[in-house]
Amino acid sequence: MTLQLGDIAPDFEADTTEGPIRFHDWLGSSWAVLFSHPKNYTPVCTTELGYTAKLKPEFDRRNVKAIGLSVDQLVDHEGWSRDIAETQGTALNFPLIADPDFKVANLYGMIHPKASDRFTVRSVFVIDPNKKVRLTLTYPASTGRNFDEILRVIDSLQLTDQYRVATPVNWKQGDDVIIVPAVTGDEARKLFPDGWKEIKPYLRVVPQPKA
């Protein structure tokens, strides 16, 4: 299955390190970052999970829940969680899905047979409170993900959902943004009464609106 932006994220039931869940119920009115790991007890995954745990205050501030997945048994997750706390200095503070029958992995297209027919690649899905997929990323098993970039994209999504703007290259929180081309000049004057810098008629730069 190939999930595309705007698709409803498939619902599922699964066992996790924090007990059984039904995904849509667990998500509630929050955003989610669902991300998969090729296998338990692997070094790159261990660093990723530890770093994600450290980011919990940042996720909380954005109304985001993190949830990981590996195609291993729940008992393996419990032992690995202890290793993550020991080696990364932060205990897991979000659920890790046990998916030994590949049910969730296949729902979300996390198995890429030409890379491996047994292990998930490093998939990332950002899902909004309406259960819609807003971002998909796929990394090879050998490359750890940049979770600071994932937070940056969430900031952009939440800002551009609220205002009729887009974020330019390498944008980060607090930088100038771009008025979307669909906004007419008359509309722009109402939305942005303090004005903007017009580089081209289609490229109008304005300070980031206050959330």
- Checking 15-19 for CB contacts under 8 A at 24+ apart, the result is 15/74, 15/97, 15/98, 16/67, 16/74, 16/77, 16/95, 16/96, 16/97, 16/98, 17/74, 17/77, 17/78, 17/81, 17/92, 17/95, 17/96, 17/98, 18/94, 18/95, 19/95
- CA 87 to mean position of chain CA atoms: 24
Which entry of 27, 45, 97, 154 is annotated as an active-site residue?
A: 45
Is residue 45 flagged as an active site residue?
yes
Catalytic residue IDs: 45
